Amino acid sequence: MHVLSLEWLAWMAGVTALFWLSPARLRDWSLVAATAAFLLLNAPVSLALLAAIVVATYWGAGPASTSGWRMLAFLAVVVSAMVAFKLRQGAATTLAGADVAIPLGLSYYTFRAMHYAIERYKGKLPPHRFGDFVCYMAFLPTILVGPIHRFPAFHRDRLRRQWSAQHVSAGLERILYGYVKVAVLCNVVVLGLFDRFIAELPHEAQGLRLYLAIVQSGLRLYLLFSGFSDVAIGFSRLLGYTIIENFDWPYLARNIQEFWRRWHISLTSFVRDYLFDFVAAATRQPALGMVASLVVIGLWHEVSLRYLYWGLYHGMGVLVWHQFQRVKPWLGKPGGPRLKPLRDALATLLTVHFVWFGFVLVEQPSLAAAFRVWSTILWPW
Amino acid sequence: MYDFLLRHLQPRWAGVAMAIWYGVLIALVLICAVAPRGAFTYMRL
């Protein structure tokens, strides 16, 4: 089965019908059963891991009264397991040039488990039972590609949830937009037509070809990922849940910090809450917290050198932007309020190109290859 | 989007506009799904 395939569409329709036709007290369990069946058919290893993490998180991490060391030990075990899988994936991709799939949804449900364990330890979760936590972890719409939604909002929706034609209508509309982004805009326009356009360019225009390939890659990543998120959010709405948004027009951001507030919002807010705040408070160095956060975001995708470079590249970008804010008042505002739209447009163009050039680091096999691409684009003569 | 249309059109025409909009999008997705490239074959589980 493919993500966003017609089979997945059939799964969504079947699960939604089963969910609302089940007696109210069995609805959530019908969803848990559907998730288990889906994983059993497509990724049995992932099902076993999910079950182990659910049990370990609930019984292992413990509530606020337990020792902090127990919580830290739990986090260390969960992070080590995720890193081990991602290291394997990174090594296989870099060395053999082939993709090794990590267990389906592992990156998402381990982060959800960590969020739950930390908040429970802090005593900030609403009263609930083991079954509530199982329903949260085995929520089918967000199993595949996130977003990393939070337990309190999920639990609140679960208690208030009821059939609503408005929810269903909004959910269907969102799913349709997701499919349009992936199937029409990404696969046909960006990968199909744009590919053909690049192929027809004269061979001497190597710099232009590489530049357009970078633009294509940036658009493809955004359309794919935000399309998947749209489908997940829409599917959740069909079931009566409103989950966190993942993208907010990130390519219109006017600086790199704003970009990170609009791109993969559920991951960046997770890292901000559980890593940045901690590092910044412990070291009194917000800059260190920012770089550490972006490196972790990079390594979350894959534990490999290329994602480490990508995280550092963005970390440096944010640091430079912060330093620029200090000298900005002396530069004034060239052109005054009349030229603000032009200044904003230039800032957006600069930001989006910084992001697109950064994707070269993860798409090229080595740092040297990435530099060759950049130099061919910037100094083609 | 329907709310936006309702502010500018009579409810009947807002409904018609929405039906056309969804019809076009669904048709595009279906056409792309059966295109030779195979729009749904991009990302495997």
Check pLDDT > 90 for residue B39: no
The alpha-carbon gap from B38 to the nearest alpha carbon of chain A, in Å, equals: 8
Is A180 in Cβ contact with B28 (below 8 Å)?
yes
For A2, phi then psi, to 5°, come to: -105, 150
Amino acid present at A336 = G
Among B1, B28, B40, whose Cβ lies nearest the Cβ of A4?
Answer: B40
Question: What would the two tokens of residue A202 be?
Answer: 């004269």
Asked if B39's CB is within 8 angstroms of A173's CB, the reply is: no
Q: How far is residue A239's CA from residue A162's CA, in Å, rounded to a whole number?
A: 9
pTM, entire model: 0.90
Question: According to the model, what pLDDT value does residue A64 have?
Answer: 66
Per-residue CA distances from B17 to A248, B2, B5, B8, B31 (Å): 26, 9, 8, 11, 21
Within 8 A by CB and 6+ apart from A195, the residues are: A216
Question: Which residues, in sequence order, are bridge partners of residue B44?
Answer: A2
Judged by CB atoms closer than 8 Å, whether chains meet at A176 and B40 is answered as no
Q: Does B25 touch chain A (CB under 8 A)?
A: yes
Helix residue ranges per DSSP H, A123-205: 130-137, 140-143, 151-160, 165-179, 194-199
What pLDDT is stored for residue A83 in this prediction? 87
Alpha carbons A21 and A160: distance in angstroms, whole number? 18
Q: Which amino acid is at A49?
A: L
Q: Is A34 on the interface with B (CB under 8 A)?
A: no
Residue pointed to by tokens 């199937």: A183
pLDDT of residue A93: 53
The verdict on a CB contact (< 8 Å) between A3 and B45 is yes
Kindly list the averaged pLDDT for each block of 10 residues, start to end, along chain A of length 381: 73 94 92 94 90 90 74 87 80 50 85 93 91 95 90 94 89 93 88 87 88 95 93 95 95 96 96 93 91 95 92 96 88 80 94 97 93 90 68
Contacts of A85 (CB under 8 A, 6+ apart): A102, A103, A106
pLDDT surpasses 60 at B41:
no
pLDDT at A339 (0 to 100): 86
CB atoms within 10 A of CB A308: 16
pLDDT at A154: 96
The set of residues, in sequence order, having a beta carbon less than 8 Å from that of A75 and lying 6+ positions away, is: A61, A114, A117, A118
pLDDT value for A240? 93
Quote ipTM for the complex: 0.80
Q: Does residue B35 have a pLDDT over 80?
A: no
